[in-house]
Amino acid sequence: MTVEPNTKIVALPTIQKHIRERGFDHMQKLANYVAKMAGVETVQALIRGNNAVQVGASMEKRQEQAKTAYIARTNIDRDANYLLVDDVWTTGSSMMSACETLRAAGCKKIDIAVIAKSE
């Protein structure tokens, strides 16, 4: 896997309920794996702004929940390239909200990677 040297891998934060159920944060494990393959670091540039469960929610509900889903941390490197990683693209609301949050925090270059697309 090839990425720019100044790339930071960011997992879209998992809600605490799902971390407790699984006993681990599956997205952080995935981000760590991608970063190791690419030879770059993972950073927790985003934190959860809410703990809304999106599984089974309508598109309208998901879009509404996504508006407050993420908060950018204060240690954003404005010169870095951020690669956001998520497991499933259903409506795109989560990923779009995460991108908007990082842009508002000053990120100039954001790429995305998604493992699967829901039908």
Q: From CA 52, how far away is CA 30, in angstroms rounded?
A: 21
CB 51 within 8 A of CB 80: no
Q: State the chain's mean pLDDT as an integer.
A: 87
CATH topology of domain 7-117: Rossmann fold (3.40.50)
Residue with tokens 């404005």: 78
Domain assignments of the chain as residue spans, ordered by start: 7-117
The DSSP annotation for 56-101 comes to: T--HHHHHHHHTTSEEE-S---TTSEEEEEEEEESSSHHHHHHHHH
Q: Residue 69: pLDDT band by 50, 70, 90 thresholds?
A: confident
**pTM of the full structure:** 0.85
Q: From CA 16, how far away is CA 8, in angstroms rounded?
A: 23
- Of 116, 111, 13, the C-alpha closest to 71 is 13
**Is the pLDDT reported for residue 55 higher than 70?**
no
Write out pLDDT tens, residues 94-114: 899 999 999 999 999 999 999
